[in-house]
A and B are shown apart, each in its own frame.
Chain A
Amino acid sequence: MQLVTGNRLRDGVPIYFVGNGQWSPSIDAAQLVEDAEADALLAVSQEGAPPLPAVGSVLIEAVRENGHIKPISLRERIRAEGPTTGPMTHQTAIETAAR
């Protein structure tokens, strides 16, 4: 199965095509379709007046597991969940990031 993702124009955040011209930063909200419908989904996601909300829209493979959508590739899992490096352990960086 596949879904459409891109990066939000104004801030670069990964977003996922929900349908009806809507995008969400939550991958669980994405419209997940069979492979045969994927190209049509990508085409629909690109409709609308410029600027489109997403930059660099592509189809990616994903599965639904335990009520959540999980990308197949590690790259897309990192895009969806964030870096795997852990925050800087230096406390100030963590606190600053939280502000």
Chain B
Amino acid sequence: MYRYDDFDHRFVDERVAQYRDQVRRRLAGQLTEDEFKPLRLMNGLYLQMHAYMLRIAIPYGAFDSAKMRKLAHITRKYDRGYGHFTTRQNLQLNWIKLEDTPDILAELASVEMHAIQTSGNSFRNTTTDPFAGVAHDEIEDPRPYAEILRQWSTLHPEFSFLPRKFKIAVSASTEDRAAVKMHDVGLYLRRNDKGEVGFEVMAGGGLGRTPLLSHTIKPFVARRDLLSYLEAVLRVYNQYGRRDNIYKARIKILVQSLGAKKFAEEVEAEWLASDREAAALPDNYVREIASAFALPAYDNTPVDEAAFKRDAAANPAFARWLRRNTFGHKSSNHAVVTISLKPVGETPGDCSADQMDLVADLADELSFGEIRAAYEQNLVLPHVRRDALFGLWKRLEAAGLGTANIGQITDIICCPGMDYCSLATARSIPIAQDLARHMAAKEEAIGTFNIKISGCINACGHHHLGHIGILGVDKNGEEVYQITLGGDAGNNAAVGTIIGPALKSDAVTGGIDTLIDVYLKLRQDGERFPDTYRRIGAKPFKEALYAVA
């Protein structure tokens, strides 16, 4: 894990001191809200429906037990004993007092954390594969590049007044687990014919009001040129991106209006004309950053396979958890474990302070202290010996963290919605809770499936990319829910299509149930929902849904 150097510590400490003075002046009436708002937003502090909300950055979703314990402590001392992991691999605290925020940021700084650039028209948290560094299908660990991007994009002087927020994702595996194609800029690590590592650069993706998938604008950018090329992308965006209309300000609108080919030509021309050496990424610097992400010293004594199989055979619930919540590790003695934050009937992504402390303890005991936050709003222990899995599962079960539903229909991505968020137009959490309760019994029969729910068009719940997506909107003072079908987030990314008129809130669960029944009846062997949907089209789903709705 990357550790702050002196510069990082000084920078974050200075920011806390500046912010403390800003809060003091606001509370003393020396700053108006209009003057103060941009300052608090630069430090991740929003004002929501019931309180202030602090969004804490977890760079590329990678953190450790010390940071997790600090988060647990902060939620206990300053909030209501729980936090909400987000689709940007960050953590949100929903019940924060303005007067406490300088102390909270100081506490975060003490464990090398902050909330800078988790809001505003800035570079947001660069996201990546939660299995980065340990996934068996990986070209190279993407975390060093995500860290380099974090350093490059933090308070970058040329890009501090972007037309709109800017999100980057990096993936290095054959399977895209970072939803790369829905980002302003997406990076896939690639090897060229000479075996050199570089990046396929994609641009123009994004969700929200105008959901668009990104386009490849350069199939291979050498590692050395990564930052200079991205600077060219940002310069073209900074120059031509619209500032007159917030709904048309994201880079996706620029790429769409220019066309991906023309946009790529503009970037290429800017890049060739720029001083590429000034932003070159030297090999020794990459090596230095990468050294912070070296794999731990694994215990390579053989796993007792007989005992492992015996435990799984004697405990079907454990066997199910193994099948759904563990993933192949580079070391054959180890597994990557995903801890579900989706217990049936609970708020997706919520985690109590005691659960945070337990995960920190388990990380120390079993995973070299390392923890990841996944954009699907779950947690990951990246290095667990396979003969420790049974004990781990039992302890997770006892704490409400043992739900075996990763990638299943109850593993719902869900934004906070109108229960918390001042932008929301409808509630999303109660819909998720009800759906999960209803679908749990069918989960095994359904198999891999994802439902994604947003409480407004901003799409924090990624509803466009759900196999079934649900968007809550306000219609004449009533919450109604628009259903989209056929979305997909990974390698076969697709934006779902709206099936028809929105459903009233009390018709959503029944309506989804009807859609699932159509899928179960018409799917062919091994076919995922988006594949069935693409094969048979919307008609059978539409007919069934509106016959009962």
**Interface residue ranges, A against B (CB under 8 Å):** 7, 9-14, 49-51, 55-56, 72-75, 78-79, 82-86, 88-90, 92-93, 95-97, 99
**Contact A96 B352, beta carbon cutoff 8 Å:** yes
A12 touches which of B75, B96, B354 (Cβ 8 Å):
B96
Report the minimal beta-carbon distance from A71 to chain B, rounded to whole angstroms. 11
A-side interface mostly: loop
26 sample A-B contacts, Cβ–Cβ < 8 Å, listed by A number: A10-B27, A11-B98, A12-B50, A12-B52, A14-B49, A55-B33, A55-B47, A56-B47, A72-B477, A73-B477, A74-B418, A78-B418, A79-B50, A84-B419, A85-B419, A85-B429, A86-B433, A88-B347, A89-B345, A90-B343, A90-B346, A92-B352, A92-B353, A93-B353, A96-B80, A97-B82
Residue of B nearest to A97 (CB): B80
Could you say which of B27, B47, B96 has the most chain A C-beta atoms within 10 Å of its C-beta?
Answer: B47
B76: chain A residues within 8 A (beta carbon): 96, 99
Interface size on B, residues (CB 8 A): 42
**Contact A11 B80, beta carbon cutoff 8 Å:** no
Question: CA of A90 to CA of B32 in the docked complex: distance in angstroms?
Answer: 40
Question: CA of A56 to CA of B400 in the docked complex: distance in angstroms?
Answer: 39
**Contact A97 B50, beta carbon cutoff 8 Å:** no
Question: CA of A88 to CA of B231 in the docked complex: distance in angstroms?
Answer: 44
Question: CA of A84 to CA of B29 in the docked complex: distance in angstroms?
Answer: 34
B345: chain A residues within 8 A (beta carbon): 89
Question: CA of A36 to CA of B30 in the docked complex: distance in angstroms?
Answer: 34
- Asked if B265 CB lies within 8 Å of chain A CBs, one says no
- Asked if B97 CB lies within 8 Å of chain A CBs, one says yes
A99: chain B residues within 8 A (beta carbon): 76, 81
Question: CA of A51 to CA of B427 in the docked complex: distance in angstroms?
Answer: 33
Question: CA of A58 to CA of B50 in the docked complex: distance in angstroms?
Answer: 15
B477: chain A residues within 8 A (beta carbon): 72-74
How many A-B pairs have beta carbons closer than 8 Å: the answer is: 108
| CB contact under 8 A between A90 and B419, given known A50-B29, A85-B429 | no
**Contact A9 B27, beta carbon cutoff 8 Å:** yes
**Contact A90 B400, beta carbon cutoff 8 Å:** yes
Question: CA of A95 to CA of B355 in the docked complex: distance in angstroms?
Answer: 13
**Contact B97 A93, beta carbon cutoff 8 Å:** no
Report the minimal beta-carbon distance from B506 to chain A, rounded to whole angstroms. 14
**Contact A10 B97, beta carbon cutoff 8 Å:** yes
A93: chain B residues within 8 A (beta carbon): 80-82, 350, 352-355
B354 touches which of A72, A74, A86, A96 (Cβ 8 Å):
A96
- Asked if B479 CB lies within 8 Å of chain A CBs, one says yes
| CB contact under 8 A between A84 and B427, given known A7-B47, A97-B80 | yes
Could you say which of A10, A12, A88, A96 has the most chain B C-beta atoms within 10 Å of its C-beta?
Answer: A12
Report the minimal beta-carbon distance from B34 to chain A, rounded to whole angstroms. 10
Question: CA of A66 to CA of B345 in the docked complex: distance in angstroms?
Answer: 33
**Contact B47 A88, beta carbon cutoff 8 Å:** no
B residues 409-428 touching A (CB-CB < 8 Å): 418-420, 427
Report the minimal beta-carbon distance from B380 to chain A, rounded to whole angstroms. 20
**Contact B81 A12, beta carbon cutoff 8 Å:** no
**Contact A92 B29, beta carbon cutoff 8 Å:** no
| CB contact under 8 A between A78 and B81, given known A88-B352, A90-B352, A96-B353 | no
Report the minimal beta-carbon distance from B99 to chain A, rounded to whole angstroms. 5
- Asked if B509 CB lies within 8 Å of chain A CBs, one says no
**Contact B52 A11, beta carbon cutoff 8 Å:** yes
Question: CA of A93 to CA of B347 in the docked complex: distance in angstroms?
Answer: 12
| CB contact under 8 A between A12 and B98, given known A84-B427, A88-B82 | yes
Report the minimal beta-carbon distance from B24 to chain A, rounded to whole angstroms. 12
- Asked if B48 CB lies within 8 Å of chain A CBs, one says yes
**Contact A9 B355, beta carbon cutoff 8 Å:** no
Residue of B nearest to A96 (CB): B81
| CB contact under 8 A between A85 and B433, given known A50-B29, A93-B353, A96-B354 | yes
With A83-B419, A84-B430 known, 17 other A-B pairs at CB within 8 A are A9-B26, A11-B52, A11-B99, A12-B47, A74-B477, A78-B427, A83-B420, A84-B419, A85-B419, A89-B343, A92-B81, A93-B80, A93-B82, A93-B352, A93-B355, A96-B80, A99-B76
Chain B 335-354, CB-CB to A under 8 Å as 1, else 0, gives: 00000000101110010111
- Asked if B51 CB lies within 8 Å of chain A CBs, one says yes
Residue of A nearest to B52 (CB): A12
**Contact B48 A12, beta carbon cutoff 8 Å:** yes
- Asked if B307 CB lies within 8 Å of chain A CBs, one says no
**Contact A97 B81, beta carbon cutoff 8 Å:** yes
Question: CA of A97 to CA of B33 in the docked complex: distance in angstroms?
Answer: 29
A51: chain B residues within 8 A (beta carbon): 26-29
B residues 33-62 touching A (CB-CB < 8 Å): 33, 47-52
A73: chain B residues within 8 A (beta carbon): 477
Report the minimal beta-carbon distance from B101 to chain A, rounded to whole angstroms. 10
Question: CA of A99 to CA of B81 in the docked complex: distance in angstroms?
Answer: 9
Question: CA of A61 to CA of B96 in the docked complex: distance in angstroms?
Answer: 27
Residue of B nearest to A54 (CB): B33
| CB contact under 8 A between A12 and B97, given known A49-B29, A83-B50, A93-B353 | yes
